[in-house]
């Protein structure tokens, strides 16, 4: 069968849901979930698989049915065997939900090439139970299976899922805490609309753990009875677990293949509160902006919204703030809308909540039935909407929205329409050119771009060797101009680096954040390791002393998006805000996502921020995995880089200095599992070719490649082979630069640092001839074979004046 790949039609820009899968406390299928939800069945009950005697509650939305996908997958770095998914519940859930979603889409999916499939996974805590096994052994001074480490990072989960389903397109993980599932669906739709994929398996997954229970216990947020969202007598939230997965597809392709179109993803909106690490803006202003942004891109008016699947956690502050947000966003139309919280029945699924609740909203659209809010017993004057108390309500509807808000002040809203494409006509995305106007670098070679460039130009290595381990630490960073001592006491180094790097990049761009522009400037944060310092600080006393030692001050910093939230609070950038956790490719991934936000007109500027910081335990983990070895030239590093991406029209208007332009990017995966790179059907090659195709230039115009080369032999060989394949018809190869051989592998920061150095190099070279343009490819790869390639173009003063 030949598929029409014409992406110029209006329907090619529309994204539909063709399959759904769910694993929750109400059952291990969408059918079981919806049957329980619409009947008001409460699946919050005594937890069986964890000791619960030290918490404020013994209840949770636990998956008690057996979940066994039977899938196996390659899992290795320097060695490996087939490992069963049953080793990690968070994977079990996602694989079973994914299988249900793909099966529901039908056999026609087999006609879609693997290279046109993508995966986007949202999670809050990742494979935390696996990481805990290794960390407990580390604290006890005994060895543990290093495979445990590979089941923890969100990107590893995404890449394992990708390999199981044979995906060779973009494989992305993100972690905006409790908004991650909704964010994953929205970004997956973006990837389809931008042409990076035709079909994406998207969703969220999280599992109950002693760490999450202890954290919410320390915050005194757990309800002793099943959560009663919006009710006057609510006492807190109920934790849950599970996964929701959707198959998203181009609408024209779905019609061509004859697959079911269950619903349409009309659009989504993101925002930041910039208020507090855990509490929402009490006036609902941040959440309001996310809802309004989602409605705007969806082409939906407030009065067209008939149903809202609410965030509704059951905590006093969240429910009243959401009520205010809905009223602010919908205005007079809020009087007629029906709102309900599924968390009253399945608990709060954290990173999986947004996807599972979207599935419920889609079923509500299909059956024209507003599901209830269970456990509702009395009216709260601060929660004064119609919450469909306890019993489902027949409701004619064409549009539903799903709200998800999170620690760190991350807000996400999805707008869903009926599958016949009749609900609304989404707005056409913008077509802005994207330039870089600000750069900051915090590295082992120095904390200014000039210092880093000088070290690179002079080939001065900043790598130190201790106990046979090659590591590069950031020293002499002074955060005092930007953060008080009191502020720093509440933050880890990841957040401190993030705030400082953002301030410096904005200053370098001469862009002041004001009341007038703060809602148009967003943050795209990328981190491969995430908050390991805070995670260790929280878990060490918890594991040795028990729940009483769990710190309520540290727990909010254990989510991956905490640093981005701190940036919003301390810098004041309240536009679109998200956190990508794409491993060693996180910086490049953040730039790709930030590029789309600016290019599509969703933000005037985005700070694309990549930060990773090391601890002794992290260094030991890389050593245990065999990556950091005396026999290898690989060195581990830490650092932070911020790039201000801005629309060309905005940069010209304010007379900004322009370092260069981002003209395209590509994403691809090898699809062979963790640590397995393909040198034949290379993902690196496909990512580079896609970047050049996206930019619309001839490959021969590329003058330079800033390579991913880090001393990790499997990845290095794959990239070297790919470069020769791509440029095999060229008389000469582009100049290849390898900064990581001097500064080490700064985990997720490498792609952003290479971008900064490439842009700086054009400033230091001899001026080009009038009209001559220079192009550079920036390559970045994860340890699991997901590859990113950015195409940069130089910018001349003559062109700025055009």
Catalytic positions, written as ranges: 178, 311, 348
Q: What pairing do the DSSP bridges indicate for beta strands 263-272 and 15-23? A: antiparallel
**In whole angstroms, what is the distance from residue 128 CA to residue 538 CA?**
13
Q: Which of 756, 744, 748 is nearest to 784 (CA)?
A: 748
Residue that is written with structure tokens 């049953």 in the block:
86
**In whole angstroms, what is the distance from residue 219 CA to residue 556 CA?**
9
| 137's tokens | 């052994």
**In whole angstroms, what is the distance from residue 462 CA to residue 554 CA?**
32
Cα 334 to the center of its chain, rounded Å? 30
Strand order, beta sheet including 469-472: 464-466, 469-472, 636-637
Q: Which of 203, 248, 309, 204 is nearest to 104 (CA)?
A: 248
Cα 10 to the center of its chain, rounded Å? 27
Gyration radius of the chain over CA positions: 24
CA distances, 363 to each of 20, 33, 222, 245, 400 (Å): 10, 10, 29, 14, 10
Burial class of residue 316, CB neighbours in 10 A (0-12, 13-18, 19+): middle
Give 630-665 as a DSSP string. Answer: TTS---EE-EEEEEEEEEHHHHHHTT----EEEEEE
CB atoms within 10 A of CB 616: 10
CB atoms within 10 A of CB 297: 21
CB 383 within 8 Å of CB 439: no
CB 361 within 8 Å of CB 266: no
Specify the DSSP element, H or E, that contains 66: none
**In whole angstroms, what is the distance from residue 561 CA to residue 633 CA?**
32
Q: What pairing do the DSSP bridges indicate for beta strands 399-405 and 307-309? A: parallel
| 330's tokens | 């919908």
Tell me the three-class secondary structure of 673-739, residue by residue. CECCCCCCCCHHHHHHHHHHHHHCCCHHHEEEEECCCCCCHHHHHHHHHHHHHHCCCCCCCCEEECC
Q: Is 749 helix (H, G, I), strand (E, B) or coil?
A: helix
Find the angle CA(184)-CA(312)-CA(48) to the nearest 5 degrees: 85
User: Taking the CA of residue 164 as centre, how many other CA atoms within 13 Å lie in the half-sphere pointing to its CB?
Assistant: 27
Q: What pairing do the DSSP bridges indicate for beta strands 434-442 and 639-647? A: antiparallel
In this structure, what is the dihedral angle of CA atoms 537, 538, 539, 544, given to the nearest 10 degrees?
90
CB 794 within 8 Å of CB 663: no
Strand partners, 668: 787
| 686's tokens | 């496909």
CB atoms within 10 A of CB 381: 7
- Answer positive or negative: Cα dihedral of 545, 548, 549, 550: positive
**In whole angstroms, what is the distance from residue 252 CA to residue 10 CA?**
9
- List the end-to-end C-alpha distance of the chain, in Å, as a whole number: 47
> What letter does residue 426 receive in the DSSP assignment?
P
Say which residues have a Cβ less than 8 Å from residue 625's Cβ, sequence separation at least 6.
77, 78, 146, 149, 150
């Amino acid at each position: 069968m030949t598929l029409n790949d014409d992406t110029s039609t209006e329907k090619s820009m529309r994204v539909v849901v063709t399959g759904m899968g769910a694993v929750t406390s109400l059952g291990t299928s969408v059918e079981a979930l919806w049957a329980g939800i619409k009947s008001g069945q409460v699946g919050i009950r005594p937890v069986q698989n964890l000791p619960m005697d030290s918490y404020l509650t013994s209840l949770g939305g636990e998956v008690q049915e057996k979940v066994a996908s039977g899938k196996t997958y390659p899992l290795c770095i320097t060695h490996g065997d087939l490992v069963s998914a049953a080793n990690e519940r968070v994977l079990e859930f996602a694989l079973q939900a994914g299988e249900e979603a793909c099966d529901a889409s039908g056999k026609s999916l087999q006609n879609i090439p693997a290279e046109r499939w993508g995966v986007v996974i949202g999670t809050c805590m990742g494979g935390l139970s696996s990481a805990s096994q290794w960390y407990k052994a580390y604290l006890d001074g005994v060895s543990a299976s290093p495979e445990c480490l590979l089941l923890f990072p969100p990107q590893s989960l995404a890449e394992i899922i990708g390999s199981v389903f044979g995906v060779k397109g973009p494989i992305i993980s993100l972690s905006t805490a409790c908004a991650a599932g909704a964010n994953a669906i929205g970004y997956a739709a973006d990837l389809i609309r931008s042409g990076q994929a035709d079909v994406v398996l998207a969703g969220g997954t999280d599992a109950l753990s002693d760490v999450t229970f202890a954290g919410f216990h320390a915050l005194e947020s757990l309800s002793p009875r099943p959560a009663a969202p919006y009710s006057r007598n609510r006492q807190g939230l109920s934790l849950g677990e599970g996964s929701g997965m959707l198959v998203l597809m181009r609408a024209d392709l779905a019609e061509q293949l004859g697959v079911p179109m269950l619903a349409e993803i009309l659009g989504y909106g993101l925002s930041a509160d910039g208020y507090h690490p855990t509490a929402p803006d009490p006036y609902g202003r941040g959440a309001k902006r996310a809802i309004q942004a989602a409605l705007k891109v969806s082409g939906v008016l407030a009065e067209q919204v008939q149903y809202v699947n609410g965030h509704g956690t059951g905590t006093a502050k969240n429910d009243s703030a959401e009520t205010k947000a809905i009223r602010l966003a919908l205005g007079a139309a809020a009087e007629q809308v029906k709102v309900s919280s599924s968390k009253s029945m399945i608990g709060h699924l954290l990173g999986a909540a947004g996807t599972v609740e979207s599935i419920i909203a889609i079923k509500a659209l299909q059956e024209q039935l507003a599901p209830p809010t269970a456990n509702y017993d009395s009216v709260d004057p601060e929660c004064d909407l119609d919450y469909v108390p306890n019993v489902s309500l027949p409701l004619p509807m064409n549009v539903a929205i799903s709200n998800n808000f999170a620690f760190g002040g991350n807000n996400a809203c999805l707008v869903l329409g009926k599958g016949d494409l009749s609900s609304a006509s989404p707005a056409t995305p913008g077509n802005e050119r994207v330039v870089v106007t600000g750069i900051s670098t915090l590295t082992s070679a120095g904390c200014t771009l000039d210092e880093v460039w000088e070290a690179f130009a002079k080939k001065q290595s900043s790598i130190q060797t201790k106990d046979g381990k090659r590591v590069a630490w950031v020293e002499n960073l002074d955060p005092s101009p930007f953060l008080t001592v009191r502020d720093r006491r509440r933050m880890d180094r990841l957040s401190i680096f993030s705030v400082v790097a953002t301030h410096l990049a904005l200053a370098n761009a001469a862009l002041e954040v004001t009341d007038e522009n703060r809602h148009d400037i967003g943050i795209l944060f990328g981190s491969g390791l995430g908050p390991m310092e805070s995670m260790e600080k929280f878990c060490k006393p918890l594991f040795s002393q028990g729940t009483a030692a769990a710190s309520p001050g540290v727990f909010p910093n254990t989510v991956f998006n905490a640093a981005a939230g701190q940036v919003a609070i301390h810098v004041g950038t309240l536009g679109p805000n998200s956190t990508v956790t794409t491993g060693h490719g996180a910086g490049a991934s953040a730039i790709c996502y930030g590029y789309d936000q600016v290019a599509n007109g969703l933000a005037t500027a985005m700070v694309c921020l990549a930060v990773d910081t090391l601890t002794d335990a992290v260094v030991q983990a890389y050593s245990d995995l065999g990556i950091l070895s005396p026999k290898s030239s690989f060195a581990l590093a830490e650092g932070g880089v911020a790039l201000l991406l801005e629309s060309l029209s905005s940069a010209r208007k304010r007379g900004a200095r322009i370092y260069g332009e981002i003209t395209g990017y590509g994403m691809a995966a090898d699809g062979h599992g963790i640590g397995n790179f393909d040198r034949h059907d290379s993902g690196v090659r496909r990512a580079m070719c896609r970047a050049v195709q996206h930019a619309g230039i001839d490959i021969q115009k590329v003058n330079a490649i800033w390579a991913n080369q880090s001393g990790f032999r499997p990845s290095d060989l794959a990239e070297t082979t790919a470069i020769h394949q791509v440029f095999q018809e060229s008389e000469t190869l582009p100049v290849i630069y390898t900064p990581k051989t001097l500064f080490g592998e700064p985990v997720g920061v490498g792609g952003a640092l290479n971008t900064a150095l490439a842009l700086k190099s054009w400033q230091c070279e001899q001026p080009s001839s009038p009209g001559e343009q220079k192009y550079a490819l920036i390559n970045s790869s994860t340890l699991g074979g997901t590859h990113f390639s950015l195409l940069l173009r130089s910018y001349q003063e003559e062109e700025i004046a055009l």
